[in-house]
Chain A
Amino acid sequence: MFGVLFEQAADGQRYIDWLLSGLGWTLALAFFGWWIAFGIGVIVGVGRTVQNRVFAIPARLYVEIFRNIPVLVQMFLWYFVFPEVVPSALGDAIKRIPPPWASFFPALLCLGLYTASRIAEQVRAGIEALPKGQLEAANALGLSGYLTYRHVIVPQALRLIVPSLTSEVMGIYKNTSVALTIGLMELTAQARQISEATFQTFTAFGAATIVYLCLALIAYQAMALIDKAVRIPGSAPARLPVDQDLAIEVQQGALPGAMEAAK
């Protein structure tokens, strides 16, 4: 059934090469986007928990704005609107970027900043789940606010939230497909192109689906390994209100069911 993938396409490549190049763009977007998201997410998440309004208000605004606009709309804002509203010299420079990169950079920025707002909320939940004694002990030792966060609060909070970050990893690799709307030939776009070129829709989408499933499996296993490596020994799961508890369980439950089904 997948035989058609090894046939030659009009451009001399095989269809499977199209898929692989799509996979490359998908992975590049997800990987680099993740590190942008993680960096900004931690900073904004910390900002959500501090008393100082100079940090708290912008952090709150950031999360409100980036979480409440659909990814696709944000994609259009970065791709179509951003070059128009910046000073025209910069705007013209952006418009001169050659094709694949002209779609890649806005998509990267969009996914990174959007996912950051979601990670920020997870980081905030992690910080709020820490026992108060941690902060008090750091104060008693005379640590400054910065040092307390840098060496006591943030490292522990990050270790707590690895399971819920799993769903954000899954989220960012799935959202990479939105980049096809601004012309990036990532995995889903390539699958559609193959289906249009060969009329083997079932094969084309089937192959892409299998690749996405493998990515999900790898992401899930990798995060499980990381969680095992960094989990705070003997830490009782933080007591959250029932429904938040539920929410976390739903996120974590995202894949074990899948694994069972796959067996």
Chain B
Amino acid sequence: MNALDFSIAAQAWPYLWSGLIFSLSLTAAAFAIGMVLGTCLALVQHFEIPVLAQLVRGYVAVIRSIPLILVLFWFFFLVPIVLGHLIGNGRPIPIGANATAFITFGLFEAAYYSEIIRVGLRAVNKGQFEACQALALSTYDTYRHIVLPQVLRVASPIILSQTIILFQDTSLVYVLSLTDLLGAASKLAQLNGRLVEMYLVVAVTYLAISSAASQCVAALRKRYAVATSR
């Protein structure tokens, strides 16, 4: 066993930091895309829009049943082809691994968020809808101002927990050879041969961030439980 030398990690920190920034921006982008798209997917199922609802159900089921790595491979292969058909002359448009990662995580997380929101929609009290009708609110206003805010509020702890899992899952872009936190560490480790220090630093960084975020969610959950028990 060689002596551990963490000064290597200190020197490597600027590079690791840029990797961490990539991980965090991927998480943020996937959260934003996933929430907007996920809400749409949930509403399509909620309103039982013909054909579309079945398609969405199939999409959500498949995405949730296969490993994220396989989803990454699928999108890596499909996105250029689909883009080619949509905006080009049918020839695949290479958009690079980074863009593919952002699109994949957004679409992938949409399936998970939509499931949370779909169940949240079912949990809204019937009286809320009746009250909206009595006030002659349109369907759009009912959902926009009354129903969705309540769903998002009730589901916020699970949505945030899912986002912490998402942050951890972004490490899988390693299979696309991207330079996220883990990718940066692994590239450096190959250069300087200090695998042990590099991976330990990465593990501790993930542990600190996820653990702190989990504590925040737990506190939120507690505060929320008090607010609703009145």
Contacts and interface: CB of A to CB of B under 8 A. Distances in A.
Chain B associates with chain A: yes
Interface of A: 64-65, 67-74, 76-77, 80-81, 84-88, 91, 170, 174-178, 180-181, 188, 191-192, 195, 201-202, 205, 208-209, 212-213, 216, 241-243, 245-247, 249-250, 253-255, 257-258, 260-262
Given A72-B172, A77-B199, A253 B119 contact: yes
B175 A70 contact: no
B79 interface: no
Given A209-B70, A212-B70, A258-B65, A69 B203 contact: yes
Contact of A205 (B57, B65, B70, B115): B70
Contacts of A246: 116, 119-120, 123, 154-155, 158
Interface of B is mostly: helix
Contacts, number: 161
Closest 4 CB pairs of A and B: A258-B61, A177-B67, A216-B65, A68-B210
Contact of B67 (A65, A212, A254): A212
Interface in B191-214: 195-196, 199-200, 202-203, 206-207, 210-211, 214
A80 B1 contact: no
A77 B203 contact: yes
B177 to A, nearest CB: 11
Contact of A72 (B57, B60, B171): B171
A21 B67 CA distance: 18
A81 B66 contact: no
Given A64-B211, A84-B1, A246-B119, A70 B169 contact: yes
Q: Interface residues of B toward A: which range?
A: 35 or more
A66 B74 CA distance: 29
Interface of A is mostly: helix
20 contacts: A68-B210, A70-B171, A71-B168, A72-B171, A81-B199, A81-B200, A84-B195, A174-B67, A177-B70, A178-B172, A192-B73, A241-B228, A246-B119, A246-B120, A246-B158, A253-B119, A257-B61, A260-B57, A261-B54, A261-B57
Contacts of A85: 1, 196
Contacts of B221: 241, 243
Contacts of B17: none
A64 B206 CA distance: 12
A187 B168 CA distance: 22
A254 B210 contact: no
Contacts of B66: 174, 208-209, 212-213, 216
Interface string B169-197: 10110110000001000100000000110
Contacts of B216: none
B214 A68 contact: yes
A99 to B, nearest CB: 19
Interface in B66-89: 66-70, 73-74, 77
A91 B2 CA distance: 12
A249 B1 contact: no
